[in-house]
Structures are given as structure tokens and as C-alpha cells.
Amino acid sequence: MKIIDLSIPLYTGMDVFQGDPEVSIDVVHTYERDTWELRRLDMGSHTGTHVDAFSHMHEGKQTLDEIPIERFFGKAQVVEVCQDWPKEVGLFFIEEIGIEELDRIINSNPGFVGGNISEDLERALLGKEIITYTNLINLELIPKGKTFMFYGLPLNIKSGDGSPVRAIAIIEN
């Protein structure tokens, strides 16, 4: 078994989407002064590698705490636009993919989609209640067309529109 981390590290001053809150991670307690360590995290809910709830772009749709936890993991594949896609498997794209592929994605019936997807496609997928993941890394380390287990669990944020995740791929040999 091989485990691949698909998440970017969070740090003060990291790049964020224009207009989103800047990231600030500050040490509040130290071992020397307090005998424990603690950090304050200040960032937006769509910082770093993150998952989007349907409510992110659609008023009245389900928030993170309303979406069943089992929707945030499952079988997946890294695929290319030019190939046939599997049915009922999460789809991840390294190359940029846009709204013109919406019908094809819907016909594949994935529970989630991620990678290099356009904002228009993201909005459309969320409207169809297909979970989206963005800012994933290391997808190129996963063999294209090989099914793997994906986990991208959000924080359980009440009425949350999105959450940073620690996304991983587990590939069986």
C-alpha cells in the first residue's frame, strides 16, 4: 500500500484567492512560558487544499454539517479529458477542465470532483450536488486510470461553506 498526501501545508502569508482572508498562524502558548504549545489559526474556510459544500455557491443548498460524512471519501481515479471515464468513481484532473465537460462528468456520476477545475465548472458541479476539492497537490504521483481510495474529510463546521482538508490517496499495490 502507498499513501500519497494531496494537501498543501498551511502557513502565514501563503497565497490565497484574491479577496479571501490572508492566512495568519501565530504561536499563542509556548513550552518555555506555558509548558504547552498552541497556535491561533486565522484564515478563510477555502484556504489551501479544501472541500466546497454545495452552499458555497448556491444559497439554500446543504452546508458541510448537513452533508453525510461518507460523501467525503471513496474510490477515485486521476483521469485525462481525452480518455473514457469510469462510472460512480471520484474524478481528479491534472489538466485544466472547464464547463464544457459538465454533461460528461454528470454522466459519469462521480460523488466528488477535484483538481484543476474552472470556477464555472465548480459552480455547476456544486449545483448538481457533486462535491468539489481544490488546491490538491501530487496528483501526478497517482497512475492515471488506476482506482484508489481518496479521503478528504472537512472540519465539522456548523453551516460551513467549505473547509481545509488533509486529503490523501491510498493506492493498493
Q: Does 87 map to a domain?
A: yes
Same domain, 98 and 30: no
Q: Do 64 and 148 fall within a single domain?
A: yes
Which pLDDT tens digit goes with each residue over 58-69? 899 999 999 999
Task: Say yes or no: 157 and 90 in one domain.
Answer: yes
Rounded to 5°, the CA angle 49-52-56 comes to: 135
Provide the domain limits for residue 61: 50-171
Structural domain includes residue 16: yes
The tally of domains found in the chain comes to 2
Q: What is the CATH number of the domain that holds 92?
A: 3.50.30.50
Q: Are residues 60 and 129 in the same domain?
A: yes
Query: Are 68 and 138 found together in one domain?
Result: yes
Q: What is the DSSP string of the chain?
A: -EEEE--PPP-TT----TTSPPPEEEEEE-HHHHSS-EEEEE--TT-SSEEE-GGGTSTTSPPGGGS-GGGGEEEEEEE-TTS---SSSEEEEEEEE-GGGHHHHHHH--SEEEEEE-HHHHHHHHHTT-EEEES---GGGSPTT--EEEE-PBP--TT-SEEEB--EEEE--
Q: What is the pLDDT of residue 81?
A: 93
Average pLDDT score over the chain: 96
Q: Are 147 and 166 in the same domain? A: yes
Both 29 and 64 in a single domain?
no
38 plus 62 within the same structural domain:
no
Q: Is residue 61 part of a domain?
A: yes
Predicted confidence (pLDDT) per residue in 90-103, tens digit: 999 999 999 999 99
Pair 112, 132: CB distance under 8 Å:
yes
**What are the cell numbers at 147?**
482506482
pLDDT, position 130: 97
Same domain? For 30 and 99 the reply is no
19 occurs within a structural domain: yes
Does the pLDDT value for residue 173 go beyond 90? no
**Both 79 and 132 in a single domain?**
yes
For residues 127 and 107, membership in a common domain is answered with: yes
